[in-house]
């Protein structure tokens, strides 16, 4: 099974990278971008076959390692 994990900054946390991307796109002549945010995208190849178990396991991985829950949120998609 494959897990796709998205780690994004919490609402209200400064996102310098996103801000810089917004700026650069504007400078390059790409109009019409109101906001940009940058996060992490992590893919895991799992041996697990049980969805519910996998979800729980990946959730624990996110809490304990992949996301910094003081400033980041995460979401998980299993495929």
Partner 1 sequence: MKSAVIVFPGSNCDRDMAVALEKITGQKPLMVWHQDYDFDKVDFIALPGGFSYGDYLRCGAMSARSHIMKEVIKRAEDGVPTFGVCNGFQILTETGLLPGALMRNANLHFVCKDVKLKVENTDSLFTNGYDEGAEITIPVAHHDGNYFADADTLDRLEGEGQVAFRYADDINGAQRRIAGVMNAKGNVLGMMPHPERMIEPALGGSDGRVMFESVMNRLG
Partner 2 sequence: MTNVNNIKITPEIVKEHGLNEEEYARIVSAMGREPNYTELGIYSVMWSEHCSYKSSRFHLKKLPTKAPWVIQGPGENAGVIDIGDGQAAIFKMESHNHPSYIEPYQGAATGVGGILRDVFTMGARPVANMNALRFGEPDHPKTRHLVSGVVEGIGGYGNCVGVPTVGGETNFDASYNGNILVNAMTVGLADTDKIFYCAAAGVGNPVVYVGSKTGRDGIHGATMASAEFTEDSEEKRPTVQVGDPFTEKLLIEACLELMATDAIIAIQDMGAAGLTSSSVEMASKGGVGFELNLDNVPQREANMTPYEMCLSESQERMLMVLKPGREEMAKAIFEKWELDFAVIGEITDTGKLTLKFGGEVVGDMPINSLVEDAPEYERPYVYTDKRDAADVAAPADLNKAVLDLIGGPNLCSRRWIWEQYDHMVMGDTIQRPGGDAAVVRVHGTEKALAISTDVTPRYCYADPQQGGRQAVAETWRNITAVGATPLAITNCLNFGNPERPEIMGQFVGCLEGMGEACRALDYPIVSGNVSLYNETNGSGIMPTPAIGGVGVMKDNEKMATIAFKNAGEAIVLIGETKDELGASLYQKQILGEDAGAPPFVDLDIERRNGDFVRALIENGQVSTCHDLSDGGLIAALADMAISGGMGADVTLESDLQLHTSLFSESQARYLVAADADTAETIRKEAKDAGIPVAVIGTTGGDTLSVNGDVSIAMSELTAAHEGWLPNYMAKAAE
Using CB under 8 A as the binding rule, whether residue 9 contacts partner 2 is answered as yes
For residue 25, give every residue at least 6 positions away whose Cβ sits within 8 Å of its Cβ, in sequence order, or none: 33, 36
Q: Which is nearer to partner 1, 20 or 33 (CB)?
A: 20
61 binds, among partner 2, its own copies, partner 1, none (CB under 5 to 8 A by kind): its own copies
36-61 burial: b if 16+ Cβ within 10 Å, else e: beebeebebeeebeeeeebbeebeeb
Q: In the set 6, 57, 59, 73, which binds partner 2 (CB under 8 A)?
A: 73
Torsion angle defined by CA atoms of residues 43, 24, 13 and 61, in that order, rounded to the nearest 10 degrees? 10
Q: Which is nearer to partner 1, 29 or 32 (CB)?
A: 29
Q: Which residues bind partner 1 (CB under 8 A)?
A: 12-14, 16-17, 20-21, 24, 27-28, 38, 40, 64-66, 68, 70-71
């Amino acid at each position: 099974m494959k897990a796709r994990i998205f780690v994004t900054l919490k609402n209200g946390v400064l996102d310098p990278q996103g801000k810089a991307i917004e700026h650069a796109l504007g400078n390059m002549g790409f109009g019409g971008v109101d906001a940009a945010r940058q996060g992490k995208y992590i893919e895991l190849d799992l041996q697990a076959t049980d969805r519910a178990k996998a979800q729980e396991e990946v959730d624990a991985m996110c809490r304990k390692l992949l996301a910094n829950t003081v400033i980041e949120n995460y979401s998980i998609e299993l495929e």
